Chain A
Amino acid sequence: MTQTLTDAEPLSYEEALEHFDPVLGFEVHVELNTKTKMFSSAPNAFGDEPNTNVNEVCLGLPGTLPVVNGKAVEYAVMLGLALNCQIAERCRFARKQYFYPDTPKNWQTSQYDEPIAFDGYLDIELDDGEVFRVEIERAHMEEDAGKLTHAGTSGRIQGADYSLVDYNRSGIPLVEIVTKPIVGAGARAPELARAYVSAVRDIVKGLGISDAKMERGNVRCDANVSMMPKGTTTFGTRSETKNVNSLRAVEHAVSYEMRRHAGILASGGTIVQETRHWQEGSRTTSSGRPKSDADDYRYFPEPDLVPIVTTAAWVEELRAQLPEPPAERRRRLLAAWGFSEQEFRDVVAAGLLDEIEETVASGVAPSVARKWWMGEISRLANARDLEPAALGVQPAMIAELNALIEQGRINDKIARQVLEHVLAGEGDPEEIVSARGLEVVSDDDGALTAAVEKAMAENPDVVEKIAGGKLKAIGALIGPVMKETRGQADAGAVRKIVLEKLGMEG
């Protein structure tokens, strides 16, 4: 008996591409951020005690009936439109039936033959600006499943003694976005994979319909990869790597699967159609479940939910409300702010576009807004192990701080202290400056002049240099004056007083 070869050493990335062309396909699940679940009024919330965000519908108790969340339908249509899809005039739900403890009623309510959105596309911009069109097959509504924790020594399903189920996630509204097969990406396939998932994440975030946090599973990607010999057009057998939950992992998983498939095919072997699991530690995938009889889901129309009909007027009303697409917005802001490409990329990577845009809208110069968010605020966030946007600094606060600086009432150093007090919850900048007496020392009462006179008297050699024309030496007097005024002197004012005392022009 000859055994079919199903495993071999992966080829190098270059070797793989020398002989084969990749074909990709993605299923991206987006959790919507409605207040309640898809089919019940239980809350859609993250991080609560297990099995406390559930009711009889989420638990699939006998005799209970689902009712569709109208807001979730609205969000699904908005997402369909943002993906340039057709919106179905009429669609319905279906039961996808399987036995697994994450789904208490033994079917997942989904859509099958009549998705709410279909035939769309997304133009994906790669790092160097090249645009690659990804065709969207469909976007359909469904519900999320509960969360399983495998108990046992390994913490993994293999070797687990039993599993524990929390149904808080059960019934959270999902939209699943399915691409058509993506051909022709070649060596850029992994990069395209990352850019595609990133684009979907940006879109749902921009629409405000999802929290879009991949680390929380709000956006989850299943990546399908197959390889076909160069010059041929018949797709090979694909593998599906499940739940790849970071952009970097999507890129690495696609790259690894391309190499693995190529290694097996080049050795004359056969690809098993199966699910694969991404292993972050080794940056490889491991074998999951082969395609089997259990994948016969026996879909049929959900009898407990009536069809959904969309009118052209409603769809157009939603289309009119769509925000500017993220890629267009980035191009517009880059031009408006005058940042370098690198500065702009850093801002995007830090997730601070919204914050800087709002800060600029509050009257702060773009370069100043960038300096605050990418500098001090990022530093403070980093020290607290938070994303800068999650630190709780409001753009209006930065505008207020900046105005105080421009009015000469505080300096940069004091402004940074004020920000820390803002974060400590002491109020807004204006209140903190007056409550803590942080305003720079004005010379109304002669205090600043007195401090300057003292510094000059104590540093005759410095004064001599300044009088001799070395104006840079004034810097040596700033320190003592600052010390005298507890850091609240304005350097410009000190310079002016020194020059006046010496009868010199600035």
Chain B
Amino acid sequence: MSEISRADVEHLAKLAHISMTEAELEKMAGELAVIVDSVRSVSEAVSGEVPATSHPLPLTNVFREDEVGHVFTAEQSLLNAPDAEAGRFKVPAILDEE
């Protein structure tokens, strides 16, 4: 059984901005451990020389020409904004770097 601790889940939940109850943290730690073990059993089935796959499609170099396409007006850009001021999205001040 993998070691996914309650503290691991709590840390991840904090990074992902997901609020979880004590009971959910316990439950999720167990469930994630099962998932990690299941994935591990897949990797046991392949030999060491097979590189990890990040992209299942046999495609590379899908590029776009450097040509300007459509843009939104400021009004359109702000349609989903919970709040706006002076053509800009208005957000709570978050203490971080400037």
Measuring CB to CB, which residues of chain A are less than 8 angstroms from any residue of chain B? 34-36, 40-43, 49-56, 59, 61, 67-73, 90, 92, 97, 99-101, 149-152, 156-158, 160-167, 242-243, 275, 277, 288-289, 293-294, 296, 298, 301, 303, 305-309
Select which of B66, B78, B90 is within 8 A of A34 by beta carbon. B66
Inter-subunit contact B74/A100 (CB<8 Å)? no
Q: Contacts A41-B67, A54-B77 given: A309-B61 contact, CB under 8 Å? A: yes
Given the complex, which residues of A lie within 8 Å of B98, measured CB to CB? Answer: 150, 156-157, 242-243, 277, 288
Best-surrounded residue of A41, A69, A100 (most CB of chain B within 10 A): A41
Inter-subunit contact A306/B55 (CB<8 Å)? yes
Q: Contacts A157-B96, A157-B98 given: A303-B91 contact, CB under 8 Å? A: no
Inter-subunit contact B64/A41 (CB<8 Å)? yes
B77 to A, closest residue via Cβ: A51
Select which of A41, A42, A162, A308 is within 8 A of B93 by beta carbon. A162
What's the Cα separation between A288 and B98 when bound, in Å?
9
Q: Contacts A165-B88, A306-B59 given: A54-B71 contact, CB under 8 Å? A: yes
A73 to B, closest residue via Cβ: B63
Inter-subunit contact A36/B72 (CB<8 Å)? no
Inter-subunit contact B94/A163 (CB<8 Å)? yes
Q: Contacts A164-B88, A293-B11 given: A69-B94 contact, CB under 8 Å? A: no
Inter-subunit contact B90/A164 (CB<8 Å)? yes
A317 CB to nearest B CB, Å: 15
Inter-subunit contact B68/A36 (CB<8 Å)? yes
Inter-subunit contact A52/B93 (CB<8 Å)? no
A-B contact pairs, 11 of them (CB 8 A): A43-B71, A51-B77, A51-B88, A52-B72, A52-B74, A55-B70, A69-B66, A70-B63, A151-B85, A163-B93, A301-B54
What's the Cα separation between A101 and B86 when bound, in Å?
17
Inter-subunit contact A157/B95 (CB<8 Å)? yes
Best-surrounded residue of A34, A49, A59, A301 (most CB of chain B within 10 A): A59
Q: Contacts A92-B54, A162-B90, A163-B93 given: A49-B66 contact, CB under 8 Å? A: no
Chain B positions 46-80 with a Cβ under 8 Å from a chain A Cβ: 54-55, 57, 59-74, 77-78, 80
A361 CB to nearest B CB, Å: 29
Q: State whether the Cβ of B15 lies closer than 8 Å to any Cβ in chain A.
A: yes
Select which of B55, B71, B95 is within 8 A of A42 by beta carbon. B71
Inter-subunit contact B91/A306 (CB<8 Å)? no
What's the Cα separation between A374 and B80 when bound, in Å?
53
Inter-subunit contact A288/B69 (CB<8 Å)? no
Best-surrounded residue of B11, B55, B87, B98 (most CB of chain A within 10 A): B98
Given the complex, which residues of A lie within 8 Å of B44, measured CB to CB? Answer: none
B53 to A, closest residue via Cβ: A301
What's the Cα separation between A391 and B91 when bound, in Å?
40
Q: A41-B70, A157-B95, A164-B85 are in contact. List 19 more A-B contacts (CB 8 A).
A: A34-B66, A35-B68, A42-B71, A43-B71, A51-B89, A52-B74, A70-B64, A90-B60, A149-B88, A158-B95, A164-B86, A167-B89, A277-B97, A293-B11, A301-B55, A305-B62, A306-B61, A307-B60, A308-B60
What's the Cα separation between A61 and B96 when bound, in Å?
24
Select which of B63, B67, B91 is within 8 A of A165 by beta carbon. B91
Given the complex, which residues of B lie within 8 Å of A90, measured CB to CB? Answer: 60
Inter-subunit contact B74/A35 (CB<8 Å)? no
What's the Cα separation between A490 and B17 when bound, in Å?
80
* Contact count band on B: 35 or more
B74 CB to nearest A CB, Å: 5
What's the Cα separation between A51 and B77 when bound, in Å?
6
Q: State whether the Cβ of B40 lies closer than 8 Å to any Cβ in chain A.
A: no
Q: State whether the Cβ of B27 lies closer than 8 Å to any Cβ in chain A.
A: no
Inter-subunit contact B15/A289 (CB<8 Å)? no
Q: Contacts A242-B97, A301-B54 given: A309-B60 contact, CB under 8 Å? A: yes
Select which of A52, A67, A160 is within 8 A of B77 by beta carbon. A52
Q: Contacts A52-B77, A306-B60, A309-B60 given: A160-B93 contact, CB under 8 Å? A: yes
Inter-subunit contact B71/A52 (CB<8 Å)? yes
What's the Cα separation between A99 and B80 when bound, in Å?
18
Inter-subunit contact A289/B96 (CB<8 Å)? yes
Given the complex, which residues of B lie within 8 Å of A53, measured CB to CB? Answer: 71
Q: Contacts A70-B65, A307-B60 given: A50-B93 contact, CB under 8 Å? A: no
Select which of B63, B64, B69, B95 is within 8 A of A55 by beta carbon. B69
Q: Contacts A50-B74, A50-B87, A157-B98 given: A306-B62 contact, CB under 8 Å? A: yes
Select which of B15, B57, B62 is within 8 A of A68 by beta carbon. B62
What's the Cα separation between A35 and B69 when bound, in Å?
10
What's the Cα separation between A67 and B59 when bound, in Å?
13
Inter-subunit contact A54/B72 (CB<8 Å)? yes
Given the complex, which residues of B lie within 8 Å of A56, measured CB to CB? Answer: 72
Given the complex, which residues of B lie within 8 Å of A51, measured CB to CB? Answer: 72, 74, 77-78, 87-89
Inter-subunit contact B93/A307 (CB<8 Å)? no
A243 to B, closest residue via Cβ: B98
Given the complex, which residues of A lie within 8 Å of B67, measured CB to CB? Answer: 35-36, 41
Q: Contacts A51-B87, A67-B62, A149-B88 given: A157-B72 contact, CB under 8 Å? A: no
